[in-house]
Structure 1
Amino acid sequence: MQKQFLYGILLFVMMAWGLNIVAIKILVQNFPPFTITGLRILAAGLVIFVFLYVKKDLQKMNPHEFGYVALSALTGILGHQALLSIGLVNTSATNGASILALIPLVTNLLAVLFLKARMTFLKICGVLFGMIGIYFILVLGGGSFTELSNGDLFVFLSVIAQALSFIFIRKASYTLNPKTITCYALLMGAGFLVMLSFAVEGQSIHQIGAAPSYVWWVFIASAIISTGIGNLCYNFAISQLGAGETAIFLNLSPFFSLVGSVLFLNEAFKWIQLVGFILIVIGVLLGTELFERKPRVERQVGVSVSK
Structure 2
Amino acid sequence: MIMSVSGVFFIVLMQGSVDLSYNIWGTLALLGAVVCAGLYNIYSKKSSAAFTPLEITYIMMWAGALLFNGIELVRHTLSGTLWSMLTPLTDPAVLSAVLYLGMLSSVVAFFLLNYMLSKVRASQTSAYLNLTTVVAILGGVLFRGESFAWFQGVGAVMIMSGVWGTSYFGREKSTTPLPVKLSGHR
* TM-score over 0.5 (shorter chain): yes
Shift of 1:185: 1.9
CA deviations 1:108-148 (Å, max 9, x no partner) are xxxxxxxxxxxxxxxxxx22x24432432222221664269
Shift of 1:151: 7.5
The structure with more radius of gyration: 2
Give the Cα separation in 1 of the matches to 2:138 and 2:22: 22
Q: Percent identity?
A: 23
| Residues 1:136 and 2:3 are matched in the alignment | no
Question: Which ranges in structure 1 are unaligned for 5 or more consecutive residues?
Answer: 1-125, 298-307
Partner of 1:261: 140
Change (3 A) 1:251 1:171: same
CA deviations 1:255-298 (Å, max 9, x no partner) are 33223334555666533133223323333333x4433442359x
Partner letter of residue 163 of structure 2?
V
Aligned-pair Cα RMSD in Å: 4.4
Question: Which ranges in structure 2 are unaligned for 5 or more consecutive residues?
Answer: 176-186
Change (3 A) 1:187 1:296: farther
Partner letter of residue 243 of structure 1?
K
CA deviations 1:145-201 (Å, max 9, x no partner) are 426998798567434422211111222233222222221122113323334445678
Partner letter of residue 141 of structure 1?
Q
The SS at the match of 2:168 is coil
Change (3 A) 1:153 1:130: farther
| Residues 1:191 and 2:70 are matched in the alignment | no
Change (3 A) 1:271 1:186: same
Partner of 2:149: 270
Give the Cα separation in 2 of the matches to 1:151 and 1:274: 28
Give the Cα separation in 2 of the matches to 1:195 and 1:276: 41
Within 5 Å, give how 1:294-305 maps onto structure 2. 294-295=172-173
CA deviations 1:221-274 (Å, max 9, x no partner) are 332344335555x48x86xxx835xx6976654433223334555666533133
Q: TM-score, normalised by structure 1?
A: 0.40
Partner of 2:119: 243
Partner letter of residue 255 of structure 1?
V
Partner of 2:106: 227
Change (3 A) 1:196 1:271: farther
The question of whether the paired residues in 2 share the 8 Å contact of 1:142 and 1:148 is answered with no
Change (3 A) 1:262 1:207: farther
